[in-house]
Structure 1
């Protein structure tokens, strides 16, 4: 049967089919997400293990080699890349492309569990994740204020900025870069400990019980059943000074009798620089399957609202991976329109 001849004799069905295909194409085009690279799953798994205070040589012998030997038995393995640094080990396990991603993750997790008991007791539980290209940041900003210091700015980013941006659809993660982290230091005095007959383990054991909240069951109160919780928290460093430390001989001492407690900041392990100056910044990553252009527009709008609510802050764009994507998208549409016109 000649389709062309039939369409000429019966133009209405052919026109209707063309209209339906055009309408479906327009709907599909509008539903497409604008991204620099498509969301792809590569069978690559990352294993991270931490042992604070350990040297690279100790980590290589006690952690890295044991994990490598166990993971090496997994089928479909292609490469293992290990990075060892002070207090941390990172393994990047690459499988052949035909290996399903979830199967690769499950196989690596099983291999790690087989040697978990052979690792040092102080090693934190290894974190196993698959490689996700969508988790890469698309926007980064630095923040400054005439009324806040680095500690206040860091808390402002962790609390206000992060909450506002994570509430936007399509935002997958907000990570602070640079700044400082609040930390309470408890510096023990060995001479006082010896004079009072206390040990560092007594102090450590009691401090582990601080900041604890646990369920305590239920009770009847005024004819209704209410949940009961056990609260053992302190709200400030001053309250921490008054904590009672029970000793093995039955005596009790206050924490400030054997230690100096200071509310300060943690030692910086990383720094963010802009034009050679230390700054406080944050990076924003999109969620998987979301449009970089749409998410970038929502982020910019949210930051404008944040500036209006806090006139004292100044936000500076450090890098923007959304604009190149928008330019490439606009250029592609321009070429598409030119081709359609020339074809007609």
Structure 2
């Protein structure tokens, strides 16, 4: 058999050279386009449904949110298993699909079945899909450091949430940039129960009044002296004073304002964890999650390049420090692979030469 292959190759030199050129070109293309990663992706094809319902205990979350979603998703096509998890204020549902299922086909099926479950969920509860990433998508992490000590954790978190997260999220191949650490700033209205009882105001009426006051409305246009003016009502809350002057009721013709029954201040949202760097104190950071099927090494390079573009625009004294970078592990794995391939090639070549001498 081997003799026939050698004889056929000797007679058809052109086809042999053509095949060698084709295989060489194919190898070069694969070398440049094959996704490189040091951690094999052995995770299942899964879609995560995340549903927040703040202030509710796990039992209510399980009965009114997790259970309706789970019972709806078990009938979706190519679903292998459905796992539900209820926490304080949050519901997580993991839909595991059969191996080989396209992730975006699976996500579209989950959205279809989620529409069926929406009618069984409480009012105001909105489920959302998790990022289109795999279990090994955590490829890069950074921290914001203020060397000047001019900015507190709340200001750094605002910088991360309203600037850095969107800038890095625009990089091709990034599925999500998750913020960690710091404090999320919020307006806090601390009600006085004695004043509420004195004015006979329920808490729900105060909540509804503040929610309805935070809104812009549009009106018609008015034509005057050949010019057209657009009428609109501006009502977005922009400061503590705007909340304090919201009317929540009336007492004998006198409006009752929020400042009459509560104190309003800026404060941090409740948090369930912190981020610390090298034992030097708390920091604010971000986790870059890679989209499913992307090249991890190329993605990390693009993220680093984006960070270099962002750094000149950061406030004075604020720096971005890398805390986890998988590219180092990938490059060391590639170096080890190259070393072993060269060693094996030399050994095989030596063995072939020895056999040819015989």
Shorter-chain TM band: 0.7 to 0.9
Asked if the contact 2:133/2:290 (under 8 Å) is kept, the reply is: no
Give yes or no for contact 2:137–2:292 (8 Å, CA) kept in 1: no
Give the whole-Å Cα distance in 1 for the aligned partners of 2:136 and 2:17: 45
2-structure distance, mates of 1:228, 1:93: 49
Indicate yes or no: 2:32 matched with 1:50.
no
Aligned length: 342
Larger mean CA deviation between 92-101 and 173-182 belongs to 92-101
How far residue 15 of structure 1 moved from its aligned partner, in angstroms, is: 2.7
Q: Tell me by how many angstroms 1:180 deviates.
A: 0.4
Partner of 2:326: 321
Aligned counterparts of 1:260 and 1:170: Cα–Cα separation in 2:
45
Query: Alpha-carbon deviations, 1:150-208, whole Å to 9, x = none?
Result: 11211222233324423433333222111001111112223334444544343222211
Between the aligned partners of 2:164 and 2:226, the Cα distance in structure 1 is 44
Residue 176 (structure 2) pairs with residue 173 (structure 1): yes
Q: CA deviation at 1:30?
A: 1.3
- Point out the more displaced range, 76-85 or 230-239: 76-85
CA contact 1:135–1:287 (8 Å) conserved in 2: no
Q: 2:304 aligns with which of 300, 307, 310?
A: 300
SS of structure 1 residue aligned to 2:336: helix
Does structure 2 conserve the Cα–Cα contact (< 8 Å) formed by 1:134 and 1:288?
no
Alpha-carbon distance in structure 1 between the residues aligned to 2:10 and 2:261: 98
Equivalent residues of 1:43, 1:130 under 8 A apart: no
Answer whether contact 1:52 1:87 (CA < 8 A) is retained: yes
Whether 2:24 is the aligned partner of 1:19: answer: no
CA distance in structure 2 between the partners assigned to 1:98 and 1:256 by the alignment? 59
Q: Relative to 1, partners in 2 of residues 1:341 and 1:212: Cα closer, same or farther, differing over 3 Å?
A: farther
Unaligned runs of 5+ in 2: 350-358
Deviation at 1:279, TM superposition (A): 2.5
Contact 1:135 1:288 (8 Å CA) reproduced:
no
User: 1:284 and 1:112, CA in 2 relative to 1: closer, same or farther beyond 3 A?
Assistant: closer
Tell me, in whole angstroms, the C-alpha distance in 1 between the residues paired with 2:196 and 2:29: 74
- 1:157 corresponds to: 160
> Does 2:190 match 1:187?
yes
Q: Secondary structure at the match of 1:133?
A: coil
Larger mean CA deviation between 243-252 and 215-224 belongs to 215-224
- 3-state SS in 1 of match to 2:276: strand
The answer to whether structure 1 residue 278 and structure 2 residue 279 are counterparts is no
Tell me what 1:331 maps to: 336
Larger mean Cα displacement after TM superposition, 311-320 or 84-93: 311-320
What secondary structure is seen at the aligned counterpart in 2 of 1:267?
coil
- Residue pairs, 1:110-259, within 5 angstroms: 112-121=114-123, 124-129=125-130, 132-133=133-134, 136-145=137-146, 146-196=149-199, 198-214=201-217, 216=219, 230-247=233-250, 251-259=254-262
Is the contact between residue 39 and residue 288 of structure 1 (CA under 8 Å) also seen in structure 2?
A: no
1:20-58 deviation digits (Å, cap 9, x = unpaired):
432332133212222235678844333333332222233
Where structure 1 has 5 or more consecutive residues not aligned to the other structure, the ranges are: none
Change in CA separation of 1:221 and 1:333 when aligned onto 2, cut-off 3 Å: farther
Once the 2 structures are TM-superposed, how far is the Cα of residue 261 of structure 1 from its aligned partner? 0.9
How far apart, CA to CA, are the structure 2 residues paired with 1:16 and 1:100? 36
Partner secondary structure for residue 154 of structure 1: helix
Aligned to 2:162, what secondary structure does the other structure show? helix
Q: Which residue of structure 2 lines up, in the alignment, with residue 97 of structure 1? A: 99
Matched with 2:32 is 30
**Cα displacement (A) at 1:271:** 1.4
Q: Aligned-residue CA RMSD in angstroms?
A: 3.7
